[in-house]
C-alpha cells in the first residue's frame, strides 16, 4: 500500500512538472536551452554535429564590405538591405528600422553587418518581442556574460543590454569602454579577430555555437543562406545605381572587405606588389579605398570652403566621434582596420607626437637623415621648426618612385586645396606626391622628419 501511494505521488509530481515545463512557449524553449543556440533533445539530434566545419566561409566575407558580388555598395545600400530583410522575416522585430545603426557599428569594428543580423535571426528570430532573452536581457544574439559584465541569470548567465538598440549601437553610453566589447560587433571583433579577417565562418561558429550544445553544421548553413539573401538584396538595389554619394549628409566613410586570405579586395595601385608584406599591402589598400570613397562625394575637389558632406561629420568614424584635428586618427584607424594597431592597449592614437615616439615593438622609427628609403605602408611624420609643437601632421606612404613619395592622409584639404586645416575647415582625405628628401608640401618649412615602419 505504501509503495502504491508513493508511486502515485511521484507520478503526480512528474505530470505536474511536465505540464508546467511545456507551458513555456516554443520561443522560450529556444532561449532557455543551450549556449549560443538552444539545445532541444526532442529535435532530431539537435546539438550533435559530427561535421568539421572549420574551413567554411561566409558569402561576401566576414569583414565590412565595399563590394558584394563584384558590385560596389555603400553604407546606405547595406542598411536598406537589412531593413528590408528584417521586415520580410519578422515585421515585429525589435531590430526593425535599425539598419543604419547596425551598419555603423559593424563598420566601426570592421565586421560584415549581414553576419550580425544573421546571428540574430538564428538566436532570437531577429529579436522577436516574445523571445525569452529579449524579454529579460534585450539579448538577440545568445551571448553569454563573463563575470562582472551586465547579466541576466537564466539557463546561462546571459549578457544584458539596456535595450535591443544598445546591443547593436557602439555609441551607446553603456557600451563605451565595456570590457570584452559592448555592442555585438565589438564583441565579435574582440573574440574572433583573426578568424573574421580570414573569413573563417566555420571557426567562429565552432566556438560561438559549439557542437556539444548545437547543431553547428546547420547553424553555419543557415548563416550562409541568410547572408546570401542579404547579399542579393543589396546588389539588386545597388546595381541599378552606382555607388555615389550615399544618401545622407551624415553618412560616414565605408571600410572595406577582405578576401579569404585577409588581403584588401579593392583594386590597388602597383605599389601593393607582392614583394611588400601583407600588412603594408593592407594599409595601402585601405588608404586608397578611403580616398576613393571621399573623392566620390559632391564638392570634394572644390577650392576654398569645401562643401563636401563628410567635411564636418565623416572624419568622426576615425576619431571615435571626438571633434578634433584628425590626421593621426585617420592613420590609427587604417592600421587598426589592417589588423596591426599602433598601440597594444588602445588602437586609437590621436596625437602626432605620440605616434612619432611610438614604443610598439612591431614598428620601427627611421629618422629622415638616416638614409632610410621609405616604402609603401610607412607612416610619414611631418615636422616644422616654425610651430609648436613641431610634429604637426601625419599621413601614409602609398607609393615610392625614385625620389618621389605619394602620400594619403586625412585632415589635409581637398585635391585642389592642399593647405593644411583642422577638423572644421573643410579638410578631407586626399593624396599628393612630392620629393621625399626635401618636402615643403604646405608652403612653409614643413618636412617629413621621420618614417614609422610596420615590421
The CATH label, of 3.90.550, 3.90.1720, 3.30.420, 3.30.310, for the domain at 282-454 is: 3.90.1720
Cα–Cα separations (whole angstroms), residue 354 to 52, 118, 330, 410: 46, 40, 14, 17
DSSP states of 131-159: -HHHHHH--SS-PBPPTTS-EEESSSEEE
Neighbours of 162 (CB within 10 A): 13
- Rounded CA-CA distance 188/106 in Å is 10
Which residue in the block uniquely carries the three cell numbers 559584465? 149
Percentages helix, strand, coil for the chain (3-state, rounded to 5) are: 35, 10, 50
pLDDT for 46: 27
Please give the model's pTM, rounded to 2 decimal places.
Answer: 0.47
Biggest CA-to-CA distance, the chain: 105
Res 21 pLDDT > 70? no
- Rounded CA-CA distance 342/361 in Å is 10
**303 vs 176, higher pLDDT:** 176
pLDDT for 393: 87
Q: Tens digits of per-residue pLDDT, 287-345?
A: 988 888 777 766 665 544 444 444 456 777 788 777 778 899 999 999 988 888 998 78
Q: Tens digits of per-residue pLDDT, 226-282?
A: 999 999 998 876 554 433 333 333 333 333 333 323 334 444 443 445 588 888 988
What is the residue extent of each domain of the chain? 26-238, 282-454
Q: Tens digits of per-residue pLDDT, 64-73?
A: 988 887 778 8
pLDDT for 336: 86
- Rounded CA-CA distance 435/346 in Å is 33
Amino acid at each position: 500500500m505504501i509503495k502504491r501511494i508513493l508511486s502515485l505521488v511521484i507520478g503526480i509530481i512528474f505530470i505536474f512538472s511536465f505540464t508546467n515545463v511545456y507551458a513555456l512557449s516554443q520561443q522560450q524553449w529556444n532561449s532557455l536551452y543551450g549556449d549560443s543556440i538552444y539545445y532541444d533533445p526532442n529535435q532530431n539530434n539537435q546539438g550533435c554535429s559530427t561535421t568539421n566545419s572549420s574551413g567554411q566561409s561566409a558569402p561576401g566575407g566576414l569583414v565590412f564590405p565595399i563590394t558584394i558580388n563584384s558590385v560596389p555598395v555603400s553604407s546606405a545600400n547595406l542598411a536598406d538591405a537589412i531593413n528590408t530583410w528584417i521586415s520580410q522575416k519578422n515585421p515585429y522585430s525589435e531590430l526593425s528600422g535599425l539598419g543604419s545603426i547596425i551598419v555603423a557599428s559593424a563598420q566601426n569594428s570592421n565586421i560584415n553587418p549581414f553576419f550580425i543580423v544573421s546571428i540574430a535571426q538564428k538566436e532570437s528570430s531577429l529579436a522577436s518581442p516574445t523571445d525569452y532573452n529579449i524579454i529579460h536581457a534585450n539579448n538577440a544574439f545568445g551571448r553569454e556574460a563573463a563575470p562582472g559584465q551586465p547579466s541576466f541569470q537564466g539557463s546561462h548567465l546571459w549578457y544584458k543590454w539596456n535595450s535591443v538598440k544598445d546591443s547593436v549601437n557602439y555609441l551607446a553610453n553603456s557600451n563605451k569602454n565595456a570590457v570584452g566589447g559592448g555592442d555585438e560587433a565589438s564583441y565579435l571583433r574582440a573574440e574572433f579577430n583573426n578568424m573574421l579577417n580570414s573569413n573563417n565562418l566555420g571557426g567562429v561558429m565552432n566556438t560561438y555555437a559549439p557542437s556539444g550544445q548545437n547543431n553547428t553544421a546547420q547553424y553555419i548553413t543557415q548563416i550562409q543562406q541568410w547572408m546570401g539573401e542579404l547579399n542579393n538584396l543589396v546588389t539588386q538595389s545597388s546595381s541599378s545605381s552606382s555607388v555615389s554619394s550615399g544618401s545622407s549628409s551624415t553618412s560616414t566613410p565605408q571600410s572595406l572587405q577582405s578576401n579569404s586570405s585577409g588581403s584588401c579586395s579593392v583594386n590597388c595601385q602597383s605599389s601593393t606588389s607582392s614583394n611588400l608584406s601583407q600588412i603594408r599591402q593592407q594599409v595601402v589598400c585601405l588608404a586608397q579605398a578611403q580616398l576613393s570613397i571621399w573623392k566620390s562625394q559632391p564638392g570634394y575637389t572644390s577650392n576654398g570652403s569645401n562643401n563636401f558632406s563628410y567635411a564636418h561629420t565623416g572624419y568622426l568614424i576615425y576619431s571615435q566621434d571626438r571633434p578634433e584635428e584628425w590626421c593621426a586618427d585617420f592613420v590609427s584607424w587604417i592600421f587598426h582596420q589592417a589588423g596591426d594597431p599602433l598601440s597594444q592597449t588602445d588602437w586609437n592614437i590621436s596625437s602626432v607626437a605620440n605616434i612619432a615616439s611610438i614604443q610598439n615593438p612591431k614598428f620601427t622609427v627611421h629618422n629622415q637623415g638616416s638614409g632610410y628609403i621609405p616604402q609603401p605602408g610607412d607612416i610619414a611624420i611631418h615636422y616644422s621648426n616654425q610651430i609648436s609643437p613641431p610634429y604637426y601632421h601625419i599621413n601614409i606612404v602609398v607609393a615610392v618612385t625614385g625620389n618621389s613619395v605619394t602620400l594619403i592622409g586625412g585632415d589635409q584639404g581637398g585635391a585642389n586645396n592642399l593647405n593644411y586645416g583642422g577638423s572644421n575647415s573643410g579638410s578631407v582625405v586626399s593624396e599628393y606626391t612630392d620629393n621625399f628628401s626635401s618636402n615643403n608640401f604646405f608652403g612653409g618649412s614643413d618636412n617629413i622628419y621621420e618614417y614609422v615602419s610596420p615590421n
